[in-house]
Structure 1
Amino acid sequence: MVQPFEEQPGIQNVVSGYTGGHVPNPTYEQVKSHTTGHTEAVEITFDPDVISYADLVEIYWQQTDPTDAMGQFQDRGDNYRPVIYVNSPEQRRIAEASKAKLEASGMFDQPIVTQIEDAGPFYPAEPEHQQFYAKNPRRYAAEHAQRQEFVDAHWKEHK
């Protein structure tokens, strides 16, 4: 999820991490054990004069399978569930309107299960998990192929 956002103008920082759980400052090992309640997520700092929150939500949709409640492509489990975390009522309104528009579009033949939830504490992931795509290009390319095939099949004509 980092690379598609980092490539956009107006993005100041993208941090990989964990949110939505009940254990303070969890480690990757704890999160992947499915016992902390956390979701792997990215925290995005952006300049709203250059890129809007609505644009960020649109980019998000084009990187996920919004119909898969228990993971994303090769990443399986509740820690990979599709969720948009919001920091304000305005962000919630934008995210919910975008989700409703996607549901009404008929692009997917299954229900959109992505949740929209209030943001809670965000814990940055360990250094080795930051900019994973740049640090591990071969592994990222292999894992990214499945995601890209799905994205191309559903979004190609909408870009």
Structure 2
Amino acid sequence: MAEQKLEKATFAGGCFWCMVKPFDTLPGIESVISGYTGGHVENPTYEQVCTGTTGHTEAVQITFNPEVFPYKDLVEVYWQQTDPTDPNGQFVDKGTSYRPAIFYHSDEQKEIAEASKKELQESGRFKKPIITPIEPAQPFYAAEEYHQDFYKKSTNHYQRYRTASGRDAYINNHW
């Protein structure tokens, strides 16, 4: 049997709790880890990241089989979970730790993400410009255990948060 070739994808789209489930349930996904990336502090804690002084943003790192679920399709799922026009956070969560971003792990991922962003901008779906940056992947630090798979551990809290944050209404109105 041939060995699977797994890749990583890293996306920031506001609260990482809300970014796990949409990817976790897809075919070819090996894992989705909530964590922090893009900052200058090694092994930051949630409390440190929340201060906005570490430079990190909440993100998810996905390990996936591109033969089962290609990166291009992951990027399409990503857009449909975020407000790609808001540089100051996502929904009720504002600040640099909640900014949207696509962190690419290869030149191929960069090209795919940039083409997808251009296509989304040209689609006319959004009146404002698509501002989500596409940046090289940086060290990724897994968040504390209580943040992992939050949608499974605290289903009711998770669903209340998604609804109250405005994320679900925004997604329903734009996609």
| Larger mean Cα displacement after TM superposition, 145-154 or 99-108 | 145-154
1:137 aligns with 2:155: yes
1:34 aligns with 2:52: yes
One-letter amino acid of the structure 1 residue matched with residue 21 of structure 2: Q
1:53 aligns with 2:71: yes
Could you tell me which runs of 5 or more consecutive residues in structure 1 were left unpaired when the two chains were aligned. Answer: none
1: CA distance, partners of 2:97 / 2:171: 21
One-letter amino acid of the structure 2 residue matched with residue 128 of structure 1: Y
Give the C-alpha shift of residue 128 in structure 1. Answer: 0.5
Partner of 1:105: 123
Q: For 2:172, which of 128, 145, 152 is the aligned residue?
A: 152
Structure 1 segments of 4+ aligned residues over 3 angstroms from their partners:
none
2: CA distance, partners of 1:103 / 1:19: 26
- Identity, in percent, stands at 59
What TM-score, normalized to structure 2? Answer: 0.87
1:25 aligns with 2:46: no
RMSD: 0.7
What TM-score, normalized to structure 1? Answer: 0.95
Report if aligned partners of 1:74, 1:143 keep a CA contact under 8 Å in 2: no
Q: For 1:124, which of 139, 142, 149 is the aligned residue?
A: 142
